[in-house]
A and B are shown apart, each in its own frame.
Chain A
């Protein structure tokens, strides 16, 4: 078992290293000199050279790559070319609001998706199933940037119910307000987060609905269900005690694999709702070619993905004795 964990850790490190290398390659093999972008086309030759020197752009590619990896190993992500702050600080500054948005999106959509999936599996080929399938197809086929714009049109522009952009008070302020018996902060928080969270969560909701349905149907045909029924367990008991827990294992694995899609969705959603998170920082940095921030951001996103999936695998160990004992 320790060997298994060690193997999974090694695998995780290789994947993150691969992601770091890939981004480095894309940025550094691209046509055009990033220094030109920094000092402007009309800068003097000396200034140009100075910037190249300062950023290490005059070194050969392989030396730059080794320096980059060396810095990474020391935990140094470099300094933003535009803001002048350490990349690590910039990322950590934005990360909490993205995590907040992602978690709220998941909490908003997953229970609904799982219930919908279970119900449509149990009432297979009825109207409920058909409707659930339609909801799922709708979620998969709607581009999230358009969904966001349409939600703004309906709830902010026409109905004036919700603000169209920005982030409300942070979770800390909400809790402090609640402790003081004041719900104003909670309301402000909820009214800001609900549209972006829904925009971000729809796609996942659709996928999880479909997956839950398929998985439950598959499990219903397994021998253990027949055994449980044969020994006199009620149909509801079979579902809640046996089928659901089994299906949830595959749902959890699936959600782990979709963390990348969620973070990608956050890039889009944050930019539409002016949500001050990692995604917007990434878009801004990509647009102004802030290489250190782009590299650091992609690395962080890849790290989160790998870390979550590592957790899911370890959770597996705990949930499924067959793996634990192997």
Chain B
């Protein structure tokens, strides 16, 4: 699997770009405070609204400029990666866990289990995720844990549908029938024959969902319901008020979100091409 992914990456420059961006984000998360040029929360009246380095009046001390309180935009982006990405990845992990479990239950046990789980999927599908998330976070209280819980509590439907579909298909495959006929227990059949086959499609949806959840978390921060004041979304909301005088405050955190989400979408494409070579035409 890893070999195949590496081979695919070798032939796919966009995939390489994705890996590069994800690596940069990983560095930002791991070494955050020790690599920021400035303290992201340091107010400085003397350094207010400095434009980015490439504009007249900008300096390389503040590469991407400073905000209305004199805080360094670049340093805030580096530290903001922790909130946005950390939350998204945790949310996806829970989603995959719940989704894979319920999808397997629905696909293999069928009957009432299948009906109840799929109706639950339909219910969650009918309520827009951002509305649900705003509702839960605003009512239950602003905390990262609540955001992760609402991501996991709703995002599982992505994976459940895919796992269920695959489980229904795999259940009828010759090798599973053979394993069952030779007396294999359900749990061991799932573990040895079904899960390995689900790994590839799950990696694809998980990768795409990381991107989706980064946008969701930023959106919640943008609306100011997360309680966090150091995240990409919050900075955009803050900078929005100063568009006329300091456009860079709202612009660069958005570029960071865009690049991170793009990277996970591109990675998802690479993984899909590996998982399903027939679909690799034109890298869509």
Contact = CB atoms under 8 A, between A and B. Distances in A.
A286 B127 contact: no
Which secondary structure dominates chain A's binding surface? helix
A305 B127 CA distance: 8
A149 B236 contact: yes
A30 B266 CA distance: 38
A217 B281 contact: yes
Given A15-B122, A23-B135, A149-B243, A260 B258 contact: no
21 contacts: A18-B120, A18-B122, A22-B124, A26-B136, A26-B139, A30-B139, A30-B140, A140-B211, A143-B233, A145-B219, A145-B233, A146-B258, A263-B131, A264-B128, A264-B129, A265-B130, A267-B128, A289-B139, A298-B135, A301-B131, A306-B126
**What's the interface size class on B, roughly?**
35 or more
Contacts of A143: 215, 218-219, 233, 254, 257-258, 261
B130 A264 contact: yes
Contacts of B124: 22
Interface of B: 119-120, 122-131, 134-136, 138-141, 211, 215, 218-219, 222-223, 233, 236, 239-240, 243-244, 247, 250-251, 253-254, 257-258, 261-262, 265-266, 279, 281-284
A258 B236 CA distance: 26
A260 B222 contact: no
A15 B119 contact: yes
Given A26-B139, A31-B140, A286-B139, A14 B125 contact: no
B282 A19 contact: no
A31 B102 CA distance: 28
Given A141-B262, A141-B265, A286-B135, A260 B251 contact: no
Interface stretch (A52-60, A150-158, A178-186): A150-158
Contacts of B140: 26, 30-31
B258 A22 contact: no
B128 A301 contact: yes
Interface string A259-300: 011011101100100000000001100110100001000100
Given A125-B281, A153-B243, A286-B139, A141 B211 contact: yes
B19 to A, nearest CB: 16
A120 B282 CA distance: 9
